[in-house]
């Protein structure tokens, strides 16, 4: 099956428009802070959300609005998470109502999200007063929407693909934001996907829920699980394929294209982790079970000591083995091989759980690249998993030492 | 019951001598790197160890040597963890044999420990050639031993107390090292305790195993669980109290004095966490169960975002609530109160899960102290727990970005 990357982000699929403006939630007037994505027609919709017990009000409202499996618009602000506020639910509901007033989309068909500081009242006034401007600017503006959902992100995260599904050319597009408070076991921060595939809400939810297990849930920046994580997809059917209502070739094609997008975004999210200078990919092979491979990959990616060593391009593989050892799953320590790799080559550093001689010079060169791979072979089976993270840097501390004030 | 702090560290209890020298494992010749603690007579002994599957060779040897419940000496080097080396067990056994050769203590009665880099061969030669010097210098030198087990520790960690037990004056002394790779669910890095109490090995083990649940296992610096964590105690009975062989007033007195020492060391370990500028104490009240309180306290103390906010003296209580929410235990989010406190006063910042107005100026002042308390009242019961950690700073990254090379 062929998957082609195309331009256009969330507007690449047929029948989607987007916009992003500065409405005034953020003080910097050059920073867009309000995004809107709209489908021409009502679309099947699905979502996965944070498993944090402290849930942002928008998460509660979105989950409720998606119970019928349909949506037509996504509204999202940055600069304030609308979480832990006494009037949070009311504000989130009002954001949906404002979309209804401006564009005639039923408020129950609106996905709402917020990202930013927790526990500060979100003023609805700037959103209210800029809703017409936001609506009237809808067009091929995926990048504006991508910018508007960014917080400390340094790059826009967007992807779009074209693929064949049920004999028709179909598309998936997406934007995402991430950077801090990013940890496995949730759907990472905010990811909005669009597609023109015709699919039932049930199959769409199935595809998304399955997908995040190997994509966003395998990303960690800092081990902190956000209160507002939301990954939603709308599929409006305008590609004209036969409705996907069960498993089969068409569903498989859709899932593959979806996974292409989500893995690409996962890597982008990890690489742009707060303060990060490099992407770290941990590939675990030879596990007895899938869950073992996943637990090991995530444990290594989350280790502060591994992350700091990667920042310093220090081939301190003992820390990798240490993180394998506390992953909480049974492994045979004396069967583990470890190697570091990047565009500069691959270097074995540990064999059967013991250190082996290696060139420190080559290690330094390999680890100084902006994408580094930690290969771990457990030599105990055929299961594998990949997780993505980033290094721990001075800038992570700087960004988070004074984020709020 | 009265507990008096006294001088002398591990040499404060009757019949214990110590020493610490530079033998050459570390390059810096002004840094002691080899410690020895010896009891005049064979002592009841107990230990708790890392739960990491990757265990340092010294941990394996020590566990084995303590199966009979007795020991007479502790030898420990810094600069090399003797872990993940093919000849690790042999080297650790040899360290015990060298104590036997130098001082006539059976090698099965020796506790051995190593701390430092993982996966590099530990050369036995400098230990061998300096064993007589080490043995001959034994005396009231607890501080030399405390220095010799330090790695990136910036201060010596030592405590000693005097208390009454079974009608006799008894003592407990201790030295510890910690700083990095420190995380709950283990006995933290290296802690060596001595006592002149007469107690059976069984009761000694019981006291220690119970104790670490509320002391060292409630400390986290970076969430990384070391491969070499060892906490051992020797009790030689020279205080002359009636042998403690079961629960009762004498056992309770011993446990209280022990906990005084371990909590004090826990706070020292947390405060001297790698790069730390302050101690963070998280006190959780009003939990429905003890395990809930502990899980919440540990989750908050481990959060990178909370730690970074504390570094910046930023009253970002939303991150505290967020960490409560992903602690993995059931709590009623809408019943949670949070306050920050220090020597400058206490400031409520969150009531019933929602933000309340507070003075940013006072918050900054409170959080700028070198010991900060995060109070969390779950308002759902009467269980409580305390955990200790530190802030996340530039220096943590610096220290760990290039530790090995």
Interatomic CA distance for residues A61 and A69, integer angstroms: 14
Q: What is the mean pLDDT of residues B283-306?
A: 92
Q: Is B312 in CB contact (< 8 Å) with chain A?
A: yes
Cβ distance A355 to B120 less than 8 Å, yes or no, reads yes
Q: Is A360 in CB contact (< 8 Å) with chain B?
A: yes
For A193-238, the pLDDT digits (tens) are 999 999 999 999 999 999 988 888 887 766 666 677 788 899 999 9
Confidence label for B185 from pLDDT (cuts 50, 70 and 90): very low
Confidence label for B186 from pLDDT (cuts 50, 70 and 90): very low
Please give the pLDDT value at position A217. Answer: 81
Give the distance from residue B352's alpha carbon to the nearest chain A alpha carbon, in angstroms: 9
Confidence label for B123 from pLDDT (cuts 50, 70 and 90): very high
Confidence label for B203 from pLDDT (cuts 50, 70 and 90): very high
For A184-199, the pLDDT digits (tens) are 333 337 888 999 999 9
Comparing alpha-carbon positions, the chain A residue that sits nearest to B308 is: A401
pTM above 0.90, yes or no: no
Q: What is the mean pLDDT of residues A3-28?
A: 95
Of A47-51, B262-266, B372-376, B400-404, which range is least confident? B400-404
Q: Is B308 in CB contact (< 8 Å) with chain A?
A: yes
Concerning whether B188 is annotated as a catalytic residue, the answer is yes
Residues A134/A36, Cβ–Cβ less than 8 Å: yes
ipTM of the complex as predicted: 0.72
Please give the pLDDT value at position B262. Answer: 92
Residues 6+ apart with CB under 8 A from B152: B179, B180, B274, B399, B403
Q: Is B393 in CB contact (< 8 Å) with chain A?
A: yes
SS3 letters across A106-151:
CHHHEEEEEEEECCCCCCCHHHHHCHHHHHHCCEECHHHHHHHCCC
- List C-alpha distances in Å: B242 to A120, A181, A270: 61, 55, 61
Per DSSP, B196 falls in state -
User: pLDDT at residue B280 above 50?
Assistant: yes
Please give the pLDDT value at position A402. Answer: 65
Please give the pLDDT value at position B224. Answer: 62
User: pLDDT at residue B228 above 90?
Assistant: no
For A61-101, the pLDDT digits (tens) are 999 999 999 999 999 999 898 988 889 999 999 999 999 99
Cβ distance B119 to A84 less than 8 Å, yes or no, reads no
Q: Is A319 in CB contact (< 8 Å) with chain B?
A: yes
User: pLDDT at residue A398 above 60?
Assistant: yes
- Identify all chain A residues contacting B322, using CB atoms and an 8 Å cutoff: 52, 54, 118, 181, 224-227
Cβ distance B401 to A180 less than 8 Å, yes or no, reads no
Cβ distance A54 to B324 less than 8 Å, yes or no, reads yes
Give the distance from residue A349's alpha carbon to the nearest chain B alpha carbon, in angstroms: 10
User: pLDDT at residue B12 above 80?
Assistant: yes
Tokens standing for B377? 């009242």
Interface test with A, best of B55, B304, B353 (most A CBs within 10 A): B304
Strands (E), A166-254: 168-177, 190-195, 230-235
Of B188, B194, B262, B292, the catalytic one is: B188
- Identify all chain A residues contacting B376, using CB atoms and an 8 Å cutoff: none
Other residues' Cβ atoms within 10 Å of the Cβ of residue B161? 23
Q: What is the mean pLDDT of residues B99-103?
A: 97
Interatomic CA distance for residues B302 and A224, integer angstroms: 9
Comparing alpha-carbon positions, the chain A residue that sits nearest to B274 is: A305
Interatomic CA distance for residues A213 and A189, integer angstroms: 15
Please give the pLDDT value at position B111. Answer: 94
Interatomic CA distance for residues B4 and A403, integer angstroms: 44
């Amino acid at each position: 099956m062929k998957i082609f990357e195309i331009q256009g982000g969330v507007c690449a699929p047929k029948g989607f428009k987007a916009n992003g403006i500065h409405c005034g939630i953020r003080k910097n007037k050059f920073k867009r802070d309000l995004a809107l994505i709209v489908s021409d027609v009502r679309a099947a919709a699905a979502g996965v959300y944070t498993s944090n017990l402290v849930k942002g009000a928008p998460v509660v409202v979105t989950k409720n609005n998606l119970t019928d499996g349909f949506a037509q618009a996504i509204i999202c602000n940055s600069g304030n998470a609308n979480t832990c506020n006494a009037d949070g639910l009311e504000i989130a509901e009002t954001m949906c109502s404002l979309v209804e007033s401006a564009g005639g989309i039923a408020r129950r068909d609106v996905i709402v999200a917020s990202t930013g500081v927790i526990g500060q009242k979100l003023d609805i006034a700037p959103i209210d007063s800029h809703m017409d401007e936001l609506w009237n600017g809808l067009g091929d503006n995926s990048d504006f929407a991508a910018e508007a959902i960014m917080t400390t992100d340094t790059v826009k995260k967007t992807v779009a693909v074209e693929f064949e599904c049920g004999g028709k050319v179909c598309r998936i597009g997406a934007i995402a934001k991430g950077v801090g408070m990013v940890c496995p076991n949730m759907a990472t921060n905010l990811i909005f996907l669009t597609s023109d595939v015709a699919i039932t809400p049930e199959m769409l939810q199935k595809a998304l829920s399955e997908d995040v297990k190997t994509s966003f849930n395998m990303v960690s920046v800092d081990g902190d699980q956000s209160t507002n994580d939301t990954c939603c997809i709308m599929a409006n059917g305008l590609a004209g394929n036969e409705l996907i209502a069960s498993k089969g070739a068409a569903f498989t094609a859709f899932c593959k294209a979806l996974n292409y997008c989500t893995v690409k975004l996962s890597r982008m999210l990890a690489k742009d982790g707060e303060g990060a200078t490099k992407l770290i990919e941990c590939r675990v092979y030879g596990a007895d079970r899938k869950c073992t491979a996943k637990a090991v990959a995530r444990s290594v990616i989350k280790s502060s000591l591994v992350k700091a060593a990667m920042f310093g391009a220090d081939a301190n593989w003992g820390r990798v083995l240490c993180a394998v050892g506390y992953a909480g799953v049974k492994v045979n320590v004396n069967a583990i091989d470890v190697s570091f790799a990047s565009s500069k080559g691959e270097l074995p550093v540990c064999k059967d759980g013991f250190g082996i001689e290696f060139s420190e010079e080559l290690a330094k060169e390999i680890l100084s690249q902006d994408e580094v791979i930690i290969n771990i072979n457990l030599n105990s089976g055929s299961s594998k998993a990949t997780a993505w993270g980033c290094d721990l840097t001075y800038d992570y501390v700087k960004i988070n030492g004074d984020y709020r004030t």
